[in-house]
Amino acid sequence: MKKQLLTILMGCLVLGASAQKAVVSLDASQAKTEIDPNIYGMFSEHLGRGIYGGIWVPKDAKVKKEGRIRMDVVEALRKIQIPNLRWPGGCFADEYHWMDGIGDPAQRPKMINTNWGGVTEDNSFGTNEFMQLCHLLHTQPYISGNMGSGTVQEMSNWVEYLNFDGESPMTKLRKQDGVDKPYGVQFFGIGNESWGCGGNMTPEYYVDQFRRYATFARSYQNAPLKRIASGANSDDYHWTEVLMKGIPLGMMWGISLHYYTIPTGSWGKKGSATDFTEAEYFNTMKNCLHMEDLVTKHSAIMDKYDPQKKVALVVDEWGVWTDAEPGTNPSFLYQQNSMRDALIAATTLNIFNNHADRVKMANLAQTVNVLQSLILTKGDEMILTPTYYVFEMYKKHQGGKLVPLHLISPAYTVDGKSIDAINGSASIDKAGVMHISLVNLDAEKARTVTVDLTNTKYGKVSGELLDAKTVTAINTFEQPGNVKTTGFADYKLSGSPENQILTVNLPAHSVVMLDAQ
């Protein structure tokens, strides 16, 4: 049957390529792997207006607040059910000394944020403020510990302050700060980008340091620590090999991977967030799709040492990185967010979903006002970006069972270069509803997708669409509703209950979520 289906699919590709059709086969009976909700995590660093102004506002700010936490941002993030939030960095993490950020805010020492503009950090937003934010968000904290400039004892004390429920110097200090019970933090990074801003280490040196620091970053009763090793920069496969070979599997819960989609592919001039040609758009999407190669190849290395997949691949920094908006501080990394960025988010999340056997956590960089943000603020105003709406659509995948998706896509070709026009992923939730997310990367052409729903019997389909007039479309404070989700009904369910076919017409540069039940 499978061989026959493959023959049919290949035939459809050959006959239908000129009609710009894609063919998808889904078999619900093969849905076994859970899509970890933590794939949909966020990242907020002490960088530009990410924390200060984006989350933590002055006492006299005219927005709804809990303490100094702005609740319009909190309520928007609650709606998309973010599962975890990574903090305090990023590069900032390895110059951050956590004890400077506890106690009376008026007595906290100030520091220089040497990584991001040399601005003064007043430490008014520290550990307990971050934990209050996570409580308000109903999300899990993911803390990055300072290995670069911090000591083993400093990291050990931080974990004790966070998680120990007995009598000790750190619990006494926590109680003096008004927190009687431990927080029970699970996710803890042992350094960040240790190959670069976290210390410019070799992987061999980092392995030795990880083993030392991780030994003293202890699990306490009712607070098992999930230690995350500082993994590779994009395609540094040697780094992954050395870490997997040198770190005992039981010592780390996960190993990180960082990769940013750079429109030009160059860290010099990265390209504009809003002013780009179709050729530049195509190159950006080609760079975005490189995530598939990275996840596949790093996973293959991990499989050699961990065939049972006990160690998670944690892509805890990802997203599009463009030049900062003209007229803003280039060190603050403030960029607008277009329909192109939404397509990057949707495509990347499809990749993570489809690798759910190894990818157990990911964190978009960054949540508010920095890089590929979900939310932009200006004083007391707030807008949602196109990327936000992707996460709102895709939250249905969280915790679902991955349905293996076999996709044959027509090519999207620009200047003689080609990528797949269509990508997607699918899951089944606990109620038995199948969620199918489809992305059309073609900037100009609508595409038809034929979905073969093998081993399914669905009687009802509903849909949601995210698209815009152009790939450069953005939401602004003057026009916040330019790009947002709408209902979608350009599909047809046909065939017998034993052989159902769903035909979907995807508009150009669009994201569609279909729910079948």
3-state class (DSSP) for residue 233: strand
| The predicted structure's pLDDT at residue 457 | 79
Residue 16's pLDDT band (boundaries 50, 70, 90)? Answer: very low
3-state class (DSSP) for residue 52: strand
498's tokens: 């034993």
The tens digit of pLDDT for each residue in 327-345 reads: 999 999 999 999 999 999 9
Q: Which of 129, 193, 392, 464 is catalytic?
A: 193
Q: Tell whether the model's pLDDT for residue 10 goes beyond 60.
A: no
Q: Tell whether the model's pLDDT for residue 12 goes beyond 70.
A: no
Residues of the chain with CATH 2.60.40.1180: 2-30+403-516
For residues 7-27, give the mean pLDDT: 61
315's tokens: 């892509």
pLDDT above 70 covers a percentage of the chain that reads 96
| The predicted structure's pLDDT at residue 4 | 43
Angle (CA) 394-395-400 rounded to 5° is 95
**Whether 5 contacts 454, CB under 8 Å:** yes
Q: Tell whether the model's pLDDT for residue 212 goes beyond 70.
A: yes
Residue 189's pLDDT band (boundaries 50, 70, 90)? Answer: very high
What sign for the dihedral angle of Cα 299, 302, 308, 311?
A: negative
Q: Tell whether the model's pLDDT for residue 96 goes beyond 90.
A: yes
Q: 3-class secondary structure for 71-103?
A: HHHHHHHHHCCCCEEEECCCHHHHHCCHHHHCC
Distance separating alpha carbons of residues 168 and 176, to the nearest angstrom: 12
Q: Tell whether the model's pLDDT for residue 363 goes beyond 50.
A: yes
Query: Prior bond to 517 cis, omega within 30?
Result: no
**How many angstroms separate the first and last alpha carbons of the chain?**
25
Does the active-site annotation cover 204? no
Please choose, from the candidates 219, 46, 59, 213, the residue with its C-alpha nearest in 3D space to the C-alpha of residue 126: 46
| The predicted structure's pLDDT at residue 127 | 98
DSSP class of 109: P
Q: Tell whether the model's pLDDT for residue 412 goes beyond 60.
A: yes
Does the active-site annotation cover 193? yes
Angle of the 127-137 helix axis to the 152-163 helix axis, nearest 10? 40
Strand partners, 424: 438
For residues 321-325, give the mean pLDDT: 98
Lowest mean pLDDT among 32-36, 455-459, 480-484: 455-459
Distance separating alpha carbons of residues 478 and 383, to the nearest angstrom: 10
58's tokens: 């002055």
The tens digit of pLDDT for each residue in 370-407 reads: 999 999 999 999 999 999 999 999 999 999 999 999 99
Task: Identify residue 138 by its one-letter amino acid code.
Answer: H
DSSP β-ladder status, 405-408 and 434-440: unpaired
**Whether 399 contacts 86, CB under 8 Å:** no
Distance separating alpha carbons of residues 234 and 237, to the nearest angstrom: 8
Q: Which of 129, 317, 392, 464 is catalytic?
A: 317
The tens digit of pLDDT for each residue in 52-75 reads: 999 999 999 999 999 999 999 999
Q: Tell whether the model's pLDDT for residue 506 goes beyond 60.
A: yes
**Whether 412 contacts 439, CB under 8 Å:** no
pLDDT above 90 covers a percentage of the chain that reads 92
Task: Identify residue 73 by its one-letter amino acid code.
Answer: V
What sign for the dihedral angle of Cα 216, 219, 223, 224?
A: positive
Please choose, from the candidates 145, 243, 251, 254, the residue with its C-alpha nearest in 3D space to the C-alpha of residue 189: 145
| The predicted structure's pLDDT at residue 148 | 97
Q: Tell whether the model's pLDDT for residue 13 goes beyond 80.
A: no
Please choose, from the candidates 301, 314, 309, the residue with its C-alpha nearest in 3D space to the C-alpha of residue 226: 314
Q: CATH assignment of 2-30+403-516, given 2.40.160.40, 2.60.40.1180, 3.40.50.300, 1.20.1250.20?
A: 2.60.40.1180
Task: Identify residue 2 by its one-letter amino acid code.
Answer: K
If you average pLDDT over every residue of the chain, what do you get? Answer: 95
Question: If you average pLDDT over each of 1-15, 23-37, 494-508, which comes out highest?
Answer: 23-37
Distance separating alpha carbons of residues 214 and 247, to the nearest angstrom: 10
Say what the pTM is.
Answer: 0.95
Q: Tell whether the model's pLDDT for residue 5 goes beyond 80.
A: no
Residue 456's pLDDT band (boundaries 50, 70, 90)? Answer: confident
For residues 229-235, give the mean pLDDT: 98
Residues of the chain with CATH 3.20.20.80: 37-402
Q: Tell whether the model's pLDDT for residue 498 goes beyond 80.
A: no
For residues 2-19, give the mean pLDDT: 43
Burial label, 5 (beta-carbon count in 10 A; 0-12, 13-18, 19+) = middle
Residue 455's pLDDT band (boundaries 50, 70, 90)? Answer: confident
Domain 37-402: assigned CATH number: 3.20.20.80
Pairwise pLDDT comparison (147 vs 495), residue with the higher score: 147
